Structure 1
Amino acid sequence: MDQHASTLLAFPPQDDSVDNETYHKAAVAHVQRISKMIKERSRDLVVFSAELFNVLPSRNPVVDPAVNSLSYLAILHALLFPSLAAKLPQDLILQKLVTFMMVFDGRQCRYGGPPLLEIMDAVGSGRLLPPSVAVECLASAILKLDPSGTILTSSHILLTKLAYDTDNIQPALPVIEKDIVYYPGMANHQDAPYLCDLELPPPLYISKTSGLTTSLKSSMVLEYDLVGGMMYCARREWWKARKAFERVITFPTKDGGCSKIMVEAFKKWILVSLLADGRHSNTPPPHTSESTVKIFGILARSYVSFATAFATDDVEQLKLEAHNNAQLWMEDGNVGLVEEVMASYQKWRVLSLQDIYTKISIAEIRQQTKSAETGAVLNKDEDVEALIHNMIIAGMLKGVIEKNDDGTKFLLFLSPTTHLSERELAKEIQGYAAKLREIKKIFTATSQRLGTSKEYIKWVVKESKRDKSSEAQDPTLAFDTQIDDEDLMGGAQDQ
């Protein structure tokens, strides 16, 4: 027991100011010692786990999950795999698991590799913890390893599926709302010499080689954004849902191909566009290939017709489109979205009146707008007033209801311009500055990756041989046209 405790507590270094090289060597040596212990005396970790976890009195210091994270990980792994150990009560083991996932040292656990990923996979599968707890633990672990949240990993895929399938979306949002910039195995990203360097971009320490993620197929990347969009739909965050579906629609493909999941996302993109903007743009998202757009137009023809009717005052045509395609909505799993669209129709018709009026009576609004659910005007002015109040509360409409001396009520449309106070403006500027600092790090890492790309070097050499008349042009402007589609996603492998 004493010997094991001494080994487990030997890391990290007591001096927090050690340089990356010293820390790295100490971490590697510690991992080797622990690996040897697990290989030769794994049973001892189970036998003495109660004392090491401070469940039973011991004269040795206990292993702290926030301080001795690698050692704590080793004990947990021995208790959890191949199956839950019987030495401690299972509830207690799972309690220790939750504590570890919420407090472990992200820098230290960069050296945790396969054991940590195996634990994260088990948590993400939902077989160890209640779904609400599992989602929160997995989200916490992902952000401890990568606080920027900019690299997509196999753990992200598990997180979205578990959160959406069990309706535990809120705890997953801190991860889902991050902008993905990197993917495992991207070209020209080699593993760093010192994984502990806190200035490293995520791809240099989160990789298949480091064991903190598996490789991702292109279908997994598509599924991540599709499920993410559906999570936003469940929260009625239509703008975010639209962006997520757009990422699926514009996913780079070879030879202008189009997968089934891309078509599914396009259909949902049309519906959430109606909810977010009150209309469907005839212009596809940027970077969508012409051949892909044609395929979308054919396979989603009914959705386009429905969206076209939505943008008009012809409520009967909209109802007809909705009714005639009821079976299609059901087969595609979009019944709920279509119902949301139909319920929002009259709200968007009210909003369209501000293009004509600055002030209009409630009675006129009732006569000029109809409900898509009934196809008729609302029964009384009070119903229209309630509809407008709900729109104002939801932030959909900027306006106020006024009452004349004769009792007539009017809707006054207000300017969308918002005047910020000096304090609010300063806060907004600080937010933009922080965002720019984050982007600078990403830009630097991406520039380094691009600068070592053989495709880019070939392009620069080719450009240097051109006529001097073209010297003023930026060689990067046309570079993207020279790269094959599969290179754009780096480590995302085709299925």
Structure 2
Amino acid sequence: MASISALVASSAKLQHFADQSSEEYDRQIRDLVTSLHRSLSSNALNFAANDPTLLDVGSASLWNRPENFDPATDAITYLFLLRLQIQTLQETSQEKLPADLLPSRVLWTKCVHYLKKFNPIQVRYVGHEWRQLIELVAQAAQAASKPFLATQLIKDAMLRLDPSCAVFTSTHLLLVRLCLHAKAYTCILPVLNKHICHFPGISERFPPKGAPVLCADHESSLAFITNNSGLSAPLGSRDLSRYFLYGGMVYLALKKWSEASHFLELVMAIPTTGPVSMIMVEAYKKWVLVGLLETGKLRPPPSMIAPNVYKVYQSIARPYINLANTFELRDLNRLNAEIDAARNVWSADNNSGLVAQVLDSFTVHSLVGIKSVFAALTVTELSEQTSSLPRDTDLAESVIASLIMSGSVSATLVHTPGHSEGTMLRFPSAHPSSQLHELQVQGRLARESNTLEALAASVKKSNNDIGLGDEFIDHMHKSKAWNSSGTDYSVAEDETRFDVDEDIMGDQI
């Protein structure tokens, strides 16, 4: 492959994949990748190292030239040439991030074009090169102090490669950190809202005959995102902890308390054979604060956390426990004193902002507590019931009105005739209309159903991978029946599955 015409001819073979079988398409892709690697190592592609016109995307007329490549159909060739030009520029300038790689420059524009248009099937065969490009784009955006330019780009590239995002990769962690740095919180929600079910699987060097090839349709992305695919850097449990912690922080920034609690609980509950990590402790501290923001009280520990681990959290995060206990007393003066006493702790933990929000939510939760007792009462009476409202009736009414308008409190202010009894605060009925309640239940059931379907598919895939599929169980059952000389085994299947589960638990212990 020593000329541009040969390069074009080799890449063009992949453009007619619709007329080929998966096995034939797989063979052609692997041949192209091998040929390109060989050409790079022998410097046979040096003629393209400094030819910017090969990857030009700005002029429509250039795309009519036969030697131009389109990422949508020539994803592999385009990526190899782009990386060659980047490496050549790095060697020439002796800089890891040359000026042409920064946003709005020549090579940046080509990287953007590629990540928007690449063929996701072909990229499965060049995962290492694809991931390197993703990481380079992130570094370039951060070097220019414009990380937000890379967030949308990387998020779309992830979803293009794997719409399910069910396999955890290093790009998940890269993106959430980038979004936090850029304060682009809503950008990552399409990824955060996906259920992570797997780590990159172990791929076989020589797959068994008849196994689906990479370019085939797969039920799970675990089939092509493996530890040898290059689509993810090596990962450990600490990386997963960081992802859920950062994801929880994104939800905190968006005031999505329930989602934030869920992510933080996942960090707190990650199994450990040694002492709890500081990441887990940090998650617990934020979890306590989120509980106060969401419910106004210290919630009971999640059932998936071992009691001894929870005691460790409580002993390390004692100021947060004290804050929660004081908050539940509904005494504003004592709460302010508690916050002031541990101000250095909140600052050192970077939780000062959350603690300030906890203080701001005190009035809301005080009103919620009163709502459970009274259906209506005057503002004057309300000021006497809670220490968080000013004694001045007009000021108290102004505070309540602002909370109602912001949606923090569901209530209505009613001015009585002649103002003889003062302004009345009425709380709505605790029971919504039957029609509204039914619609809410239907919507929740639909969401839960979709979640269960996704999890069930992932569990089935995991069971098959570790030899617990239906075929394996049936085989074990038949083998046991055959060796038992016709004995009746009406409950043998359950017994077999119980034995297998016992073995799994033994391995985990």
Normalising by the residue count of structure 1, what TM-score does the alignment of the two structures yield? 0.84
Cα distance, 1:254 vs. partner? 1.2
2:273 corresponds in structure 1 to 254
Cα distance in 2 between the residues matched to 1:212 and 1:294? 39
Cα distance in 2 between the residues matched to 1:310 and 1:470? 56
Stretch deviating more after TM superposition (444-453 or 218-227) = 444-453
Aligned 8 A contact 1:12 1:26 in 2: yes
| CA deviation string 1:206-242 (max 9, x = no partner) | 1221111121122221111111212222222222221
2:347 corresponds in structure 1 to 330
**In the alignment, structure 1 residue 221 sits paired with structure 2 residue 240:** yes
2:39 corresponds in structure 1 to 37
Please show how residues 85-484 of structure 1 align to structure 2 within 5 Å. 91-125=105-139, 126-127=141-142, 130-185=146-201, 193-254=212-273, 257-281=275-299, 283-371=300-388, 377-407=389-419, 408-415=423-430, 417=432, 419-420=435-436, 434-452=450-468, 475=498, 481-484=505-508
Cα distance, 1:393 vs. partner? 4.6
Classify 1:11/1:237 alpha carbon distance in 2 versus 1 (closer, same or farther; 3 Å). farther
Aligned 8 A contact 1:189 1:449 in 2: no
What SS class does the counterpart of residue 12 from structure 1 fall into?
helix
Aligned 8 A contact 1:329 1:338 in 2: yes
What SS class does the counterpart of residue 297 from structure 2 fall into?
coil
Cα distance in 2 between the residues matched to 1:201 and 1:346? 48
Cα distance in 1 between the residues matched to 2:247 and 2:444? 27
Stretch deviating more after TM superposition (85-94 or 207-216) = 85-94
Amino acid at match of 1:33: S
| CA deviation string 1:242-301 (max 9, x = no partner) | 11111110001115x3111111111111001111221111x2112212221121121112
What SS class does the counterpart of residue 244 from structure 1 fall into?
helix
1:493 corresponds in structure 2 to none
Query: How many residues are treated as equivalent by the alignment?
Result: 471
2:56 corresponds in structure 1 to 53
Classify 1:450/1:404 alpha carbon distance in 2 versus 1 (closer, same or farther; 3 Å). farther
Cα distance, 1:428 vs. partner? 6.6
Cα distance, 1:346 vs. partner? 1.0
Q: What is the CA RMSD across the aligned residues, in angstroms?
A: 3.5
Cα distance in 2 between the residues matched to 1:190 and 1:178? 32
What SS class does the counterpart of residue 412 from structure 2 fall into?
strand
Cα distance in 1 between the residues matched to 2:282 and 2:372? 34
Amino acid at match of 1:252: P
Aligned 8 A contact 1:102 1:141 in 2: yes
Amino acid at match of 1:411: R
| CA deviation string 1:147-178 (max 9, x = no partner) | 10111111112112222123232322222232
Classify 1:4/1:275 alpha carbon distance in 2 versus 1 (closer, same or farther; 3 Å). farther
Cα distance in 1 between the residues matched to 2:417 and 2:80? 77
Classify 1:33/1:477 alpha carbon distance in 2 versus 1 (closer, same or farther; 3 Å). closer
Stretch deviating more after TM superposition (403-412 or 337-346) = 403-412
Cα distance in 2 between the residues matched to 1:378 and 1:415? 27
1:489 corresponds in structure 2 to none
Cα distance, 1:81 vs. partner? 2.3
Aligned 8 A contact 1:245 1:268 in 2: yes
Normalising by the residue count of structure 2, what TM-score does the alignment of the two structures yield? 0.82
Aligned 8 A contact 2:202 2:226 in 1: no
What SS class does the counterpart of residue 264 from structure 1 fall into?
helix
- Out of 27, 30, 33, the position equivalent to 1:25 is 27
1:374 corresponds in structure 2 to none
Cα distance in 1 between the residues matched to 2:245 and 2:349? 13
| CA deviation string 1:321-356 (max 9, x = no partner) | 212111111121111111110111111000111210
Cα distance, 1:395 vs. partner? 4.2
Classify 1:151/1:344 alpha carbon distance in 2 versus 1 (closer, same or farther; 3 Å). same
Cα distance in 1 between the residues matched to 2:99 and 2:193? 38
Larger radius of gyration between Structure 1 and Structure 2: 2
What SS class does the counterpart of residue 16 from structure 1 fall into?
helix
1:79 corresponds in structure 2 to 85
Cα distance, 1:480 vs. partner? 6.6
Aligned 8 A contact 1:362 1:385 in 2: yes
Amino acid at match of 1:222: S
Note the residue ranges of structure 2 that are not aligned, 5 or more in a row.
none
Question: What is the percentage of aligned positions where both structures have the same residue?
Answer: 24
| CA deviation string 1:115-153 (max 9, x = no partner) | 111111212334576311111111112212211011111
Cα distance, 1:435 vs. partner? 4.2
Cα distance, 1:450 vs. partner? 4.2
Classify 1:6/1:132 alpha carbon distance in 2 versus 1 (closer, same or farther; 3 Å). same
Classify 1:439/1:317 alpha carbon distance in 2 versus 1 (closer, same or farther; 3 Å). same
Stretch deviating more after TM superposition (239-248 or 194-203) = 194-203
Aligned 8 A contact 2:176 2:243 in 1: yes
